[in-house]
A and B are shown apart, each in its own frame.
Chain A
Amino acid sequence: TQLLEQSPQFLSIQEGENLTVYCNSSSVFSSLQWYRQEPGEGPVLLVTVVTGGEVKKLKRLTFQFGDARKDSSLHITAAQPGDTGLYLCAFRRNTGKLIFGQGTTLQVKP
């Protein structure tokens, strides 16, 4: 059983479209992180959300932490082929180890 459930698992869209991916759990978290992983590379941290209801923007990417701190979403506006990759949400245990969701594979076609 996944502690973090991500949806959809796979998304294929055309350049210029908008999309939202979700990260859900029944547990409450002190913070959640989002990573992007490109083929042949390790995950790279995009953002950490800490406060319930928090919204953070990174260029065309908008991250939101649910009010109850059980879920998070990532919205991409006007997707570009360079956005292609595996998007992962994760939380960090006190020991530092990261627990990841299963990821959303995004393919943006030119």
Chain B
Amino acid sequence: GAGVSQSPRYKVAKRGQDVALRCDPISGHVSLFWYQQALGQGPEFLTYFQNEAQLDKSGLPSDRFFAERPEGSVSTLKIQRTQQEDSAVYLCASSAPARPHTDTQYFGPGTRLTVL
């Protein structure tokens, strides 16, 4: 079956532009996570959804970052007024129904965002 997919794979934005990054989780996976990964570093947690509910957004670095999952499947991470420090790979992961503290997280390939 299909894994987690993300689009676009690459995005170049001019500073100040808004961007939207999409994540399609594995079908039936209730939990969805977003992470930010700087070059050569480990991923850092941004936010977590269980179905359509955003249960943890403690990792979002500023109010320019916004995530949604309105129907409990596809999720979008939006970054407003992008800054150069937003340049990173944005990873999405999903895990099986209702057991986020035990189930394996399956990661997508990421979206590489470059802000000029």
Contacts and interface: CB of A to CB of B under 8 A. Distances in A.
Interface of A: 6, 9, 40-45, 86, 88, 90, 92-103, 105
Contact of B105 (A6, A40, A95, A98): A98
A42 B42 contact: no
Given A88-B42, A95-B55, A96-B31, 8 more contacts: A40-B110, A42-B4, A42-B93, A45-B104, A88-B43, A97-B33, A98-B105, A100-B44
Contacts, number: 62
Given A88-B42, A95-B100, A103-B40, A42 B91 contact: yes
B48 A97 contact: yes
B41 interface: yes
A96 B12 CA distance: 31
Which of B40, B43, B103, B110 counts the most chain A CB atoms within 10 A?
A: B43
A96 B101 contact: yes
Interface string B26-61: 000001010100001111110010000001100100
